[in-house]
Amino acid sequence: MTTQIRSINFGCGQQSMAMLVLAARGQIDFRTFLFANVGDKSEYPPTLRYFHEHAAPYAAQHDIELTMLRRVAVRSGQTYDLYDEITRPGSKAQKIPIKLSNGHPGSRSCTADYKTRVIGRELKRRGATPDNPATIGIGISLDEIHRAKRKAEPHEVITYPLLELGLRRTDCVRIIRDAGLPVPPPSACWFCPNHSIEEWHRLRRSEPQLFEKACRLEELMSRRETDKGKGPIHFTNYRMPLRQLIRPGVDLLPLAEDDQSDGACDSGWCMT
């Protein structure tokens, strides 16, 4: 008899941690949590610290499998890091959801390459097939129900435990705190162009070295696109370099349409 795989797509953010607590309490039927790390140079450092210092020990304490996965080359065994891939000399890799000079989003493949396929390969290794699909839990809460629209792969069936329980992000925070755990930081690559303006300001204030690094990355990718005759690119929808847009003294400046999402992260693989 084939055992059906049941796994949570773990992002190490507030919604994912709430599901880990709910699983520990027996309120959702999942005992496997898979975290696709896009690279130690790419994941937000406080997220990785939280994973090792809080999430992993809590999972072990409650006999829940919490596994960190990486993108690895099949033939060479090389481990990839998203930041290294887009910054290596001579690289033409765009990968992340940059904003083009015409205001449209650029093509991107970071989620597919570093999340979807990594998790998918692991599920198939564990026996997931179209005839025996894995049940995948994704951490989208009621206040973000518009994100619950990812098309399932042939080897999986998607479910949304937080939606089924009618839980919002504020409920997730309460659940985490009630378990005696600190609330995790936002989960995403520190340089992700889908950050909100508020998140960019928070990064500048709390992690100034990382913010400076993000500015340099934006400048590098912009030069690269300009050299190809395509014009500058930006990490926000405002067609301004981060250095000009995100600066001291304008943190509370009202900005219209402060929605950085172009739909690219609506799948729930990131920022959960």
Query: Rg of the chain's alpha carbons, rounded to an integer?
Result: 19
For range 48-58, the mean pLDDT: 98
- pTM of the model as a whole: 0.91
Longest CA–CA separation in the chain, Å: 63
Phi, psi of 173 (to 5 degrees): -60, -45
pLDDT higher for 272 or 81? 81
pLDDT value of position 156:
93
Condensed to tens digits (0 to 9), the pLDDT of residues 205-237 reads 999 999 999 999 999 999 998 888 888 999 999
For range 22-45, the mean pLDDT: 97
SS3 71: coil
pLDDT value of position 210:
96
Band (pLDDT 50/70/90 cuts) for residue 251 is: low
Q: Are 35 and 10 in contact (CB under 8 A)?
A: yes
Instruction: Report whether pLDDT(262) > 60.
Output: no
For the chain, what is the total number of helices (H) and then of strands (E)? 11, 5
Smallest Cα–Cα separation from 192: which of 130, 270, 135, 79?
270
Condensed to tens digits (0 to 9), the pLDDT of residues 6-22 reads 999 999 999 999 999 99
SS3 218: helix
Token pair 């889908």 is at which residue?
Answer: 194
For range 52-69, the mean pLDDT: 98
Band (pLDDT 50/70/90 cuts) for residue 267 is: low
By percentage, how much of the chain surpasses pLDDT 90?
71
pLDDT value of position 256:
46
Domain residue ranges in the chain: 6-187, 195-255
pLDDT higher for 253 or 224? 224
pLDDT value of position 192:
94
* Lowest mean per-residue pLDDT among 112-126, 150-164, 247-261: 247-261
Tell me the H-state helices in the chain.
14-24, 45-50, 56-61, 82-87, 110-111, 117-125, 161-164, 169-178, 197-206, 208-227, 242-245
Band (pLDDT 50/70/90 cuts) for residue 91 is: confident
Instruction: Report whether pLDDT(253) > 80.
Output: no
pLDDT value of position 2:
59
Cα–Cα dist 187/17, whole Å: 11
pLDDT value of position 271:
75
The percent of the chain in helix, strand and coil, each rounded to the nearest 5, is: 40, 10, 50
pLDDT value of position 13:
95
Instruction: Report whether pLDDT(258) > 60.
Output: no
Of the candidate CATH numbers 3.40.50.300, 3.40.50.620, 3.40.50.720, 3.10.20.600, the domain formed by 6-187 belongs to: 3.40.50.620
Token pair 């005992």 is at which residue?
Answer: 31
Q: Do the bridges between strand 6-9 and strand 65-70 make them parallel or antiparallel, or are there none, so unpaired?
A: unpaired
Instruction: Report whether pLDDT(261) > 60.
Output: no
